[in-house]
Amino acid sequence: MVPMANFSVEDARATQVTPGFQLADIDPAATPNFSDSKKKLLHEFTEIDDELTDLQEMLYANARAGLPHTPRILLVLQGMDTSGKGGVIRHVMGTLDPQGVDLAAFGVPTEQERQHDFLWRIKKALPRAGRIGVFDRSHYEDVLVHRVHGLSPLPVIEQRYGQIVEFEQELVDSGTTIIKVMLHISPEFQAENLRERLERKDKYWKYNPGDIDERLHWEEYQQAYQIALERTSTASAPWYCVPSDNKPYARMVVKYLLLGALRDLQLQWPPADFDPAVELARLEASQQQLQQRLTQQQ
Ligand code: ATP
């Protein structure tokens, strides 16, 4: 028997970062609002696929039909190494039509990117109208890794929080829904993941020796995340801190957050810019003509 749905968009949104948020209080191994078996979790994960794909198609269709002010969605993914950003992209975005997805990953800035303001490369990668954009890392690296390693002077980093809030507000005002997700893992879980990368041939490609050096800055990263999340989680562009030691759970939460954003857009299918009855009659007539011609040729 198919289990009943018992997770919801509201449950997913309960992971929202609100005033008073303390990252240290969030247990990365917890599965808030979900206590059922793994089987049910997997069911929850696929239960909403049809609705999600329909809504995404509707969003894309609006842009393709050239409707003015077609919205866009931007999903920002952040997390420590091995936190599962790639898995979210594969499993959550994998259900969607790739035509409607704009994916961008942000690594160490190139020489050219370094010549510009930190938002320059971000602005170039924003989703097009009617698309769901996904950022695998983002402008937040400029207040995270930069803070941990002193890559920019502190006063410059301090200024960036305000610049980010302003930038995101402009995006929201011009029709972008922003969902920011921190995939929150424990150091034990990271060690497990890194161990797996070292013990399995099919995972070597994911291993980066530098991850061990980064891992030793754990507390500083947590502090940098605490500051970033508390200063930039706004009503317009909220952060969600998603416990992610349980990968299927984290993926499910992100999927429901996306579903909530799509539902909130209250989309409609674009109207026809032709007369469907007339076109249907033309189609039938063309079929008759073709049939006649093909029979004569036989
Ligand atoms: P990931 O670790 O995200 O799976 P990866 O290991 O393939 O990806 P890249 O995507 O090439 O690595 O780069 C990620 C690295 O780039 C991270 O260490 C991140 O901190 C760093 N990075 C991203 N943006 C910046 C930035 N603005 N300034 C400095 N370093 C950055």
Please answer whether residues 5 and 232 qualify as being in contact, where contact means their C-beta atoms are separated by less than 8 angstroms: no
Closest-CA residue, ligand 1 atom 17, reads 107
Does residue 40 register a pLDDT over 80? no
- State the pLDDT at residue 205: 95
Contact between residue 45 and residue 95 where contact means Cβ atoms under 8 Å apart: no
pLDDT in tens, 213-241: 999 999 999 999 999 999 999 999 999 99
3-state SS record for 90-110? HHHHHHCCHHHEEEEECCCCC
pLDDT at 170: 98
Work out whether strand 239-243 and strand 101-105 pair parallel, antiparallel, or are unpaired.
unpaired
**Chain-wide mean pLDDT for the chain?**
95
Is 105 close to ligand 1, i.e. is its CB under 6 Å away?
yes
81 Cβ inside 6 Å of ligand 1: yes
- Please state, in angstroms and rounded to a whole number, the distance separating the CA atoms of residues 149 and 262: 37
Condensed to tens digits (0 to 9), the pLDDT of residues 97-147 reads 999 999 999 999 999 999 999 999 999 999 999 999 999 999 999 999 999
Q: List the domains of the chain with CATH numbers.
A: 9-297 (3.40.50.300)
**Token pair recorded at residue 7:** 């997770």
- Cα dihedral 152/156/162/167 (nearest 10): -60
- From the CA of 91, how far away is ligand 1's center (Å)? 21
Task: Please state, in angstroms and rounded to a whole number, the distance separating the CA atoms of residues 53 and 56.
Answer: 5
Token reading at 143 = 């207040």
**Pick from 83, 78, 30, 92: nearest CA to 192:** 83
- Averaged over 19-43, what is the pLDDT? 89
Q: Using CA positions, which residue lies closest to atom 16 of ligand 1?
A: 107
pLDDT at 52 over 80: yes
Residue 31 has pLDDT above 90, yes or no: yes
Structure tokens, 275: 């007369």
Identify residue 113 by its one-letter amino acid code: E
Task: Give the C-alpha distances (Å, rounded to integers) separating 249 from 37, 42, 60, 68, 188.
Answer: 11, 9, 28, 37, 17
Answer yes or no: is pLDDT of 3 > 90: no
pLDDT band at residue 42 under the 50/70/90 scheme: confident
Residue type, 196: E
Indicate whether residue 208 lines ligand 1 (CB < 6 A).
Answer: yes
Q: Is 215 in the pocket of ligand 1 (CB under 6 A)?
A: no
**Residue 45 pLDDT > 80:** no
Give the pLDDT mean for 51-65.
95
d(CA 100, CA 132): 6
With 70 as the cut, is the pLDDT of residue 281 above it? yes
Structure confidence at residue 239 (pLDDT): 98
Give the CA angle between residues 140, 145, 148 to the nearest 5°. Answer: 125
Report DSSP state, residue 35: -
Residues 143, 224 contacting (CB under 8 angstroms): yes
